[in-house]
A and B are shown apart, each in its own frame.
Chain A
Amino acid sequence: MKILEVRELSKRFGGLMAVSQLDFDVQAGEILGLVGPNGAGKTTVFNLITGIYVPNVGKIFFNSEDITGLKPHIIARKRIVRTFQLTTLYSNCSALENVLMGHHLKIKTDIWGILWRTPFFWSEEKEATQRSLQLLEFIGLSGQESILAKNLPHGHQQRLKFAIALSSDPQLLLLDEPVSGMNPEEMNEMMALIRQIRAKGITIIMIEHDMKAVMGLCDRIVVINYGEKLAEGTPEQIQKNQEVIEAYLGREDDFA
C-alpha cells in the first residue's frame, strides 16, 4: 500500500532547479533511503513534503489525499513529522519539556479547559507527562529528564529529536541525516533505534550520507542528483547501478 506518492515534483530557486520532475512512492511500513551527493536536493524534497516550501509544479499525495502546498502545521496534523539535519531542538528547555512540547497535537483541551483547570485538563497533562517519560525511556534517555537539551551530548540530542518527532504519533517519519557526526558505537545504537521505530509500524524516509547506515537500514533507496531521480531500487541494485557509481565517484574515463 502506498502511503506517500510524489508526482512530477519541481522546485525552482531563481535559476536553480533544486528539484525537477521527481517521482517516487513510499510503501507503508518501509524504510526508504533518499541519497545523493551534496546539493542534490534531498533536503528540499523534505521541505516540500512537510510544507516548508511550496512546489512550483507537481503533487504530493499522502494516503491518497492531496497535501501539496498545505501549511507545515496542517501537514503535521496529518501525522507527517520530520527531524532536521542540524540539531534543531528547544535548546533552553529540559529533555522532558522538549518532548512535552512535541505533544502539542495530542492535547485537546481548549482555552476554557486551560483557564478553569478542568479535570480533563489535568488528566491530559498527566497522560502527556507519562507518555513523554515513556518516550524518553524508549530512546534511552530515562533519568535525564531535567537536563537542558543544549547540555546533552550530541548523540543524545539526536535521540531527543526522535522523541519529539515520535510524540506526535506519526504515520510517516522523515529523518534528515540521523546518524551524521556519530561515532560507530552511537551509530549502531541509532540504527537499532530506527529499526525499533519501524517495528512500531511507522513508515520512515531517511536522508543519509553514511552508506553503511543506508545499506543496513533501508528497504529501498531513491538516488537523486541535480534534483532529478537517478535510480531507484533495493540496496543491492543501487550498489551495482553504474549511473550511481558515476555520480558518486565520477566516470572511469574522467581519470584517464
Chain B
Amino acid sequence: MSKKGFYLIGLYLFLLCIPLFTKDLYHIHILIVTMFHIILALGLNFVMNTAQVPLCQAAFVGIGAYTSTLLVMRLNFSFWLSLPIAGILTGILGIIVGLPTLRIKGIYFAMATFALGEIIRLLFIGWGGLFGGANGISAIPSPNPIPIPFLGQIEFETKVPYYYFTLVVLTLCLIIIYRLTHSRIGRACTAIRESDLLAQCTGIDIMGYKVFAFAVNSFFAGIVGGIYAHYFHFIGPQDFTFWQSVEYLVFIVMGGSGTIGGPIIGSIFLTFLPEFLRMAVEFQVVLYGLALILVLLFMPQGIVGLLVKVSNRLARSSYRNKKDENTGSARIK
C-alpha cells in the first residue's frame, strides 16, 4: 500500500476514535460543524474552479434544510428518504438557477447569486405559513433510528451518532470531489478557469460544465442543510444569511483555493480559531479579523500554499545539505 493510503487509514482511525477519548460533547459538536463547513467549502471550491463565485451557498443550505424538515414534519417522510430528496431538489434548483445566471461572468454572477440568496431568505421569512416566518421551525425530530440486525439500533440521541454519520457523508463527498477533480471533468473545469476561449475551441462545453459544477455544489449544500436541520432541531432564516455564504468563501481563500486540501484546512482552521479565541471573548472578533488580514497579506496562496512552499524549501535545503556532505564542502554561514 502507498504511503499516502497508510496515512489516510491512520487519520480515519484517529477520527473514528475521537468520541471514545473525549466526554465533552462540545468538542464533538465543533467537529460536526467543522465537517459541515468542509463539505460546503469543497462544493464551493469545485464551482470556483470554473471561475465563478456564487454568493448564495447559505441560501441553498437553507433550501435543503427546509425541504428535509417540511418533508419529515408535514408529510411524515423518513429522514433517510428526505435527506437525499433535499440534496437532489437543491441540485435541481442549482441547475434551474445556473442555466440563466452562469452565462454572466465574474462580479455580475456574484451579484446575481447574492440577489438570489436574499430572495430565498426573504421567502423563508415572508411565507410564514410554510416556512414558519422569522421564528423559523423548531422541534425538528432527530433522524429515525438505524436498525442493526441482532444488535438493536442506532438511536440519534447524543451527538456521537451524528458525528459518525456526518463523517460518512463527508467521506463520500470527498471521494466524489476527488474523483471528479482527477478526471476529464476536473480537467475541463480547470481549462475553463485558465482560458475559456481555448477550452471551448478544444471541444469543452463551457456552459455544461459550469452548470454541472454548480449543481454538484448545490447538491452538497442541500445534503448539509438536511443534516443541519435534524441536528440542531431548529432552523430559521437567520441561519442562512449572506454573511454565512461569505464565510464559506473565506474558508477557501484562507486554506488556498484550487486544491482539495485548501478548503479542508481553511474550514478546520477558521472553525476552530474562534473557539480558541474564546479565552479573550472581548477581542474574539478583532483577533479573527486580524488573523484573516495576516493570512491574506503573507500567504496569498492560503495555508496550503504556504505549506507547499515550506516543504519545497525543506526538500531543497536537505538536498543541498546532502550535496554538501557528498562533496565534503562546508557551507559558509
Interface residues in B180-195 (C-beta closer than 8 Å to A): 180, 183-185, 187-188, 190-191, 194-195
> Quick one: given A114-B180, A115-B180, A117-B179, are A89 and B200 in contact (CB under 8 Å)?
no
The size of the chain B interface, using a CB distance under 8 A, is 22
Binds A, one of B28-36, B68-76, B202-210: B202-210
Give chain B residues whose Cβ lies under 8 Å from the Cβ of A115.
176, 179-180
Check if B194 sits within 8 Å of A84, measured CB to CB.
no
Main secondary structure of the interface of B (DSSP, over half): helix
Q: Are B202 and A168 in contact (CB under 8 A)?
A: yes
A69-127 contacts to B, CB under 8 A, are 71-73, 76-77, 81-82, 84, 88-93, 97, 100-105, 107, 109, 111, 114-115, 117, 121, 125
What are the residues of chain A within 8 A of B273 when measuring CB–CB? none
**Majority SS at the chain A contact face:** helix
Q: How far is the CA of A72 from the CA of B203 in the complex (A)?
A: 7
Contact B190 A93 (CB under 8 A): yes
Residue contact B184 to A107, C-beta cutoff 8 Å: yes
Report the separation of the CA atoms of residues A192 and B200 in the bound assembly, to the nearest whole angstrom: 28
CB atoms of B195 and A90 under 8 A apart: yes
B187 touches A100 (CB 8 A): yes
Q: Are A76 and B200 in contact (CB under 8 A)?
A: yes
Do A101 and B180 touch (CB < 8 A)? no
- Is A52 an interface residue when CB atoms closer than 8 A count as contact? yes
Contact status of A101 and B190, CB under 8 A, knowing A89-B195, A107-B184, A114-B184: yes
B residues with CB within 8 A of A = 176, 179-180, 183-185, 187-188, 190-191, 194-195, 197-206
B-binding residues in A (CB < 8 A):
50, 52, 71-73, 76-77, 81-82, 84, 88-93, 97, 100-105, 107, 109, 111, 114-115, 117, 121, 125, 164-165, 167-168
Chain A to chain B contacts (Cβ below 8 Å), 12 pairs:
A84-B198, A84-B201, A88-B197, A89-B195, A90-B195, A92-B194, A101-B187, A109-B184, A114-B185, A115-B180, A125-B183, A164-B202
